Chains A and B, each alone.
Chain A
Amino acid sequence: QVQLVQSGAEVKKPGSSVRVSCKASGGTFSTYTFNWVRQAPGQGLEWMGRIIPVYDTTSYAQDFQGRVIFSADESTMTAYMELSRLRFEDTAVYYCASPNLLPSADDSFEIWGQGTFVTVSS
């Protein structure tokens, strides 16, 4: 069974950094594309960017350029999102999401992690 399992909730101070992990199980790691999506409390979904490990490529949404880094470790089948210079408004649930692993699938987000709640508080 293909699934993504994320790391636990974090509480961080403004100006610090947070790293969230997303561990894949089932399927071949090279077939995953890890998108990162966040959702502030009571708000909608916001795409932060993606990493495609097999091509070692990353794309970042403009709003996060320079403040977020995506990485992936094939040996542990884990992707990471590190967000720096945290602000109060970065308080949100952070999700990793991947398209279906079948070659015929398109890039819609069929597989989701359970979410990681990051609280930024002084």
Chain B
Amino acid sequence: DIVLTQSPGSLSLSPGDRATLSCRASQSVKSNYLAWYRQKPGQAPRLLISGASSRATGIPDRFSGSGSGSGTDFTLTISRLEPEDFAVYYCHQYGSSPTFGQGTKVEVK
């Protein structure tokens, strides 16, 4: 199985700051089938980005995703943090047997 390693484990930022989250795969993710989710406490995850860089329906453009050409390094950027963005973020590869990263917690500084 592909192991996804997210960094950092946590991030302390202020509203309006820029957040950069990383996800590294142990092997190339097929067809860039890499997604990002935001999970607030007590809620199910919500899809933000699929295909490494495509925003899901209704997701504002402050969220953007990118991937390296190698298919192993991926980034989620939140350009200006809103109060609802303080949450845990997971990356997820679904190109082969699906796996998730361990999560990055974005907390208020």
Write the nearest CB–CB distance from A100 to chain B, whole angstroms: 8
Neighbouring B residues of A45 by C-beta, 8 Å: 37, 45, 90, 92, 100, 103
Q: How many residues of B contact A (CB 8 A)?
A: 22
Query: Roughly how many angstroms separate A114 CA and B44 CA in the complex, as a whole number?
Result: 6
- Choose, from A11-19, A24-32, A72-80, A104-112, the stretch at the interface: A104-112
A4-46 Cβ-contact flags toward B at 8 Å (1 or 0) = 0000000000000000000000000000000101000000111
Q: Please give me the residue from chain A that is nearest to B50 by CB atom.
A: A108
Q: Chain B interface secondary structure, helix, strand, loop or mixed?
A: loop
Q: Judge if A61 is at the interface, Cβ distance under 8 Å.
A: yes
Contact B47 A108 (CB under 8 A): yes
Contact B94 A108 (CB under 8 A): yes
Query: Roughly how many angstroms separate A109 CA and B50 CA in the complex, as a whole number?
Result: 9
Q: Judge if B57 is at the interface, Cβ distance under 8 Å.
A: yes
Query: Roughly how many angstroms separate A61 CA and B33 CA in the complex, as a whole number?
Result: 18
| Number of residue pairs A-B, CB distance < 8 angstroms | 55
Query: Roughly how many angstroms separate A113 CA and B45 CA in the complex, as a whole number?
Result: 10
Write the nearest CB–CB distance from A114 to chain B, whole angstroms: 6
Query: Roughly how many angstroms separate A110 CA and B98 CA in the complex, as a whole number?
Result: 14
Write the nearest CB–CB distance from B31 to chain A, whole angstroms: 8
Neighbouring B residues of A115 by C-beta, 8 Å: 44
Contact A110 B57 (CB under 8 A): yes
Residue of A44, A46, A108, A115 most packed against chain B (CB within 10 A): A108
Query: Roughly how many angstroms separate A22 CA and B44 CA in the complex, as a whole number?
Result: 14
Q: How many residues of A contact B (CB 8 A)?
A: 21
- Residue among B33, B37, B102 making CB contact with A107, cutoff 8 Å: B33
Contact B33 A109 (CB under 8 A): no
Q: Please give me the residue from chain B that is nearest to A112 by CB atom.
A: B44
Contact A109 B90 (CB under 8 A): no
Contact B45 A112 (CB under 8 A): yes
Q: Judge if B68 is at the interface, Cβ distance under 8 Å.
A: no
Chain B positions within 8 Å of A, measured between CB atoms, are: 1, 33, 35, 37, 44-47, 50-51, 56-57, 90, 92, 94, 97-103
A-B contact pairs, 8 of them (CB 8 A): A45-B100, A47-B97, A47-B100, A61-B97, A106-B94, A107-B33, A108-B35, A108-B92
